A and B are shown apart, each in its own frame.
Chain A
């Protein structure tokens, strides 16, 4: 028998990023006994890295903004595959969620009349992102953390959940281990909220940290929840490309929001050459108009650098492929040029983009106030995830909720920058509220000890094997494979090769062995993460095979056009009765006439 400790909660929240913390705060306010589990220390989750801002139609900078415009922008950005009800709730509730952060101590940058300042971002019609320089995520997570620790929530830092447990149809808790000591823990809970973030570690070049192994998606999948929109993986157009050690690290879109421009090796602003029809009306016709837009001129339209991420990323790939890239395989992002327009440009840049200035100065020896940066696409965000009910965030498994990046629906085929942080707050709150409610209404749960024992034994297997290879090589090979075959530009034959490769990698993963003991052992941690990585990678590849068109973040070289027949459904991934992965199509949720009309009006 393997020993373990047991904890009982009404609501167990897995993840302590923005979504998890906001859910925990709300569940606790609803009277629930709440436990939070996080793989890293409190305050270190991915949310801390967000730079640009939180999208909310506060209308502080441009009073033409309101929830309807935000809703229409979000739907257009997602190519209308978004769940319209989620996009509506998000746009309506984001302003209140941002103001609430202020009431809990957050200090956003201010307008001249002392209100929350908002900045421009790609795909948002008006300046909409509440921000703090370029460290908005830090402000947000610290505010939630400092508020949350006074709400009587139990936090289990540096714990990993390995499996969810069920009581009949219902979720009944989770089983995991303490990363520091290696001890097992059972969390019995009447409701569980998944807030585990994304899947970036399935790729080689990513802005995401080691935590992003898609655990929440895999945990949910294995207990029968449905995954949706898995083909939509966002590649952010501007990651660092040089030196190799920093490849993939994010360069915030805020640089372009402040007037930064993209150029190829011939010095041409190539984005002017290719503006998608859906955005023609809203895009500047010349550089001067674009510049005026970034400086708040309400009569000007946005520069093409602020088109949606999928488009900008693909244009960069094209420039590089056609030989007009920078020396290290990217293009140039230039903010230094604004010295032609502003007298104190260097100071202005340092004030508006302090961490970008530092990041380049310290890691790449580039002074962004004087020289252009070299940038290229980096895997950044997962639009797909656990399919949930729009109002409650509950998945297909009773009592299992999901919020934040690990849930699907709000962003459709492509997420707009800034819409994630607001997503975390709006739907984190909703998930917490409804999870507490579910826990109150339903009775207690029982878990099977045999199941727990089996999970514990499985977790220890890598120590027992002595002959297998180490886990790092398997992880690296998986990342390289996904980057090449399930990356930014996809093809049917390569996607099918990817499935074969995944089957082979699965075989290797089942044989990895690790040395040392259970105390803080990254080799063991990496070995245990492989299961999630393999599951989500397979789901992405299968969904990508199914969508034989190009839309939003999903681009098929063999089907380069949008196909209206594919605009009518979302792709679902589920575990079949035989244990194999099943792909299905689900008709797009219907849109109310009111929402339909808003979209027509804002076209």
Chain B
């Protein structure tokens, strides 16, 4: 039977190193299967998060051969197996153990976003009417499975560690979903500009490239939000200029 080599990061917040494992491979295997196989037979205590095994829960994020990906949706047949497959934890977050990182920062930041505030109901029975076409746009953002891979690649967080000043692409997608929600009446633009650091994003689009849900994070969420911030806060001339652009 064919085998493949895996080079997996083992360690905790204090120290760590890569360790090699060899696994027998079978048809259709994904990286997460290999990790589980290693766990069951060679390294019982190998830390890894997962739930759905079908790309729906966003638990199994890691860096595979240097690329941020979901382990359950990365098939071995997509990878060159002549050399070892490296599997590392997401590097933008503090390490808990092995492939598990402390992603709690994302939850804390998200809580600071002003919640949904709907307009009064349209009908006497307390319901609203919305057109599918208006809903479509926001449904794209609501596909997000909170895998935080986009947060992992964004250089503002990964390299510059501006976690206090910048909420990152995932939370910007969340803000966009609320701002563009057909029923929402809250205004989050001041927060985005002043405390959430939307200005730090310089539209490199790295986040969009890694999103497993194929959400067009930069084009559809961040850029429109930036435009709304500009509209809200800069002088009428700028606005005029934008109209003629």
Q: Chain A interface: which of B26-34, B155-163, B195-203, B222-230?
A: B26-34
Q: Mark B89-101, 1 if CB is under 8 A from A, else 0.
A: 0000000111010
Is A515 an interface residue, CB under 8 A from the partner?
yes
Q: Is the interface of B mostly helix, strand, loop or mixed?
A: loop
Which residues of B sit under 8 angstroms from A250, Cβ to Cβ?
54
- Chain B contacts with A in 114-163, Cβ cutoff 8 A: 115-116, 118, 121, 125-132, 135, 138-139, 142-143, 145-146
Q: How far is A470 from B102 in the complex, measured between Cα atoms in Å? A: 27
- The listed residue (A43, A105, A142) touching B118 by CB distance below 8 A is A105
Is B49 an interface residue, CB under 8 A from the partner?
yes
Is B56 an interface residue, CB under 8 A from the partner?
yes
Question: In the complex the two chains form, is B107's CB within 8 Å of A40's CB?
Answer: no
Is B84 an interface residue, CB under 8 A from the partner?
no
Which residues of A sit under 8 angstroms from B128, Cβ to Cβ?
102, 114
- The listed residue (B50, B125, B139) touching A132 by CB distance below 8 A is B139
Which residues of B sit under 8 angstroms from A471, Cβ to Cβ?
44
Q: Chain B interface: which of A163-171, A356-364, A588-596?
A: A356-364
CB of A155, distance to nearest CB on chain B (Å): 8
- The listed residue (B26, B44, B142) touching A472 by CB distance below 8 A is B44
Which residues of B sit under 8 angstroms from A355, Cβ to Cβ?
55-56
Which residues of B sit under 8 angstroms from A524, Cβ to Cβ?
45
Question: In the complex the two chains form, is B96's CB within 8 Å of A180's CB?
Answer: yes
Is A157 an interface residue, CB under 8 A from the partner?
yes
CB of A480, distance to nearest CB on chain B (Å): 14
- The listed residue (A48, A110, A362) touching B73 by CB distance below 8 A is A362
Is A113 an interface residue, CB under 8 A from the partner?
yes
CB of A470, distance to nearest CB on chain B (Å): 5
Q: How far is A358 from B143 in the complex, measured between Cα atoms in Å? A: 13
- The listed residue (B116, B138, B139) touching A104 by CB distance below 8 A is B116
- Chain A contacts with B in 153-205, Cβ cutoff 8 A: 157, 180
Is A279 an interface residue, CB under 8 A from the partner?
no
Closest to B103 in A: A41
Question: In the complex the two chains form, is B45's CB within 8 Å of A522's CB?
Answer: yes
Question: In the complex the two chains form, is B55's CB within 8 Å of A516's CB?
Answer: no
Which residues of A sit under 8 angstroms from B97, Cβ to Cβ?
180, 519-520
**With A519-B97, A520-B98 in contact, do A150 and B45 touch (Cβ < 8 Å)?**
no
Question: In the complex the two chains form, is A102's CB within 8 Å of B45's CB?
Answer: no
Question: In the complex the two chains form, is B50's CB within 8 Å of A105's CB?
Answer: no
Is B216 an interface residue, CB under 8 A from the partner?
no
Question: In the complex the two chains form, is A364's CB within 8 Å of B28's CB?
Answer: yes
Instruction: Pick the most buried of A132, A147, A244, A362: most chain B CB atoms within 10 A of its CB.
Output: A362
Which residues of A sit under 8 angstroms from B107, Cβ to Cβ?
41-42, 149, 157
- The listed residue (A48, A245, A515) touching B26 by CB distance below 8 A is A245
**With A40-B51, A44-B51, A249-B54 in contact, do A363 and B96 touch (Cβ < 8 Å)?**
no
Question: In the complex the two chains form, is B100's CB within 8 Å of A49's CB?
Answer: no
- The listed residue (B104, B115, B145) touching A147 by CB distance below 8 A is B115
Is B205 an interface residue, CB under 8 A from the partner?
no
**With A103-B126, A146-B116, A180-B100 in contact, do A41 and B44 touch (Cβ < 8 Å)?**
no
Is A289 an interface residue, CB under 8 A from the partner?
no
Which residues of B sit under 8 angstroms from A49, Cβ to Cβ?
51-52, 54, 56-57
**With A103-B118, A139-B142 in contact, do A48 and B100 touch (Cβ < 8 Å)?**
no
Q: Mark A486-526, 1 if CB is under 8 A from B, else 0.
A: 00000000000000000000000000001111011111100
Q: How far is A364 from B29 in the complex, measured between Cα atoms in Å? A: 10
Question: In the complex the two chains form, is B135's CB within 8 Å of A109's CB?
Answer: yes
- The listed residue (B26, B46, B51, B135) touching A244 by CB distance below 8 A is B26
Which residues of A sit under 8 angstroms from B139, Cβ to Cβ?
107, 132-133
Count the B residues whose beta carbon is within 8 Å of the partner chain — how many? Answer: 61
Question: In the complex the two chains form, is B51's CB within 8 Å of A210's CB?
Answer: yes
Question: In the complex the two chains form, is B39's CB within 8 Å of A522's CB?
Answer: yes
Is A327 an interface residue, CB under 8 A from the partner?
no
Which residues of A sit under 8 angstroms from B39, Cβ to Cβ?
472, 522-523
CB of B146, distance to nearest CB on chain A (Å): 6
Q: How far is A133 from B30 in the complex, measured between Cα atoms in Å? A: 26
Which residues of A sit under 8 angstroms from B110, Cβ to Cβ?
146, 149
- The listed residue (B33, B49, B126) touching A40 by CB distance below 8 A is B49
Closest to A43 in B: B146
Is A242 an interface residue, CB under 8 A from the partner?
yes
Is B231 an interface residue, CB under 8 A from the partner?
no
Question: In the complex the two chains form, is A44's CB within 8 Å of B58's CB?
Answer: yes
CB of A160, distance to nearest CB on chain B (Å): 14
Question: In the complex the two chains form, is B129's CB within 8 Å of A115's CB?
Answer: yes
Q: How far is A517 from B97 in the complex, measured between Cα atoms in Å? A: 11
CB of A156, distance to nearest CB on chain B (Å): 11
Q: Mark B56-93, 1 if CB is under 8 A from A, else 0.
A: 11110000000000000101000000000000000000
Is B53 an interface residue, CB under 8 A from the partner?
yes
Which residues of A sit under 8 angstroms from B73, Cβ to Cβ?
362-363
Q: How far is A363 from B142 in the complex, measured between Cα atoms in Å? A: 23
Is A243 an interface residue, CB under 8 A from the partner?
yes
Which residues of B sit under 8 angstroms from A335, Cβ to Cβ?
none
- The listed residue (B28, B55, B98, B138) touching A107 by CB distance below 8 A is B138
Is B181 an interface residue, CB under 8 A from the partner?
yes
Question: In the complex the two chains form, is A516's CB within 8 Å of B54's CB?
Answer: no
Is A24 an interface residue, CB under 8 A from the partner?
no
5 tightest CB-CB pairs across the interface, nearest first?
A: A243-B28, A516-B45, A523-B44, A114-B129, A105-B116
Chain A residues engaging chain B, CB cutoff 8 angstroms: 40-46, 48-49, 99, 102-105, 107, 109-110, 113-116, 132-133, 135, 138-139, 142, 146-147, 149-150, 157, 180, 209-211, 242-246, 249-250, 355, 358-359, 362-364, 470-473, 476, 514-517, 519-524
Apart from A114-B128, A362-B75, A470-B40, what are 5 other A-B pairs with CB-CB below 8 Å? A45-B51, A103-B126, A109-B135, A114-B130, A521-B44
- Provide a sorted-by-A list of 12 A–B residue pairs whose CB atoms are within 8 angstroms: A48-B57, A48-B145, A102-B127, A107-B138, A107-B139, A107-B181, A132-B139, A142-B142, A362-B55, A472-B44, A521-B44, A523-B45
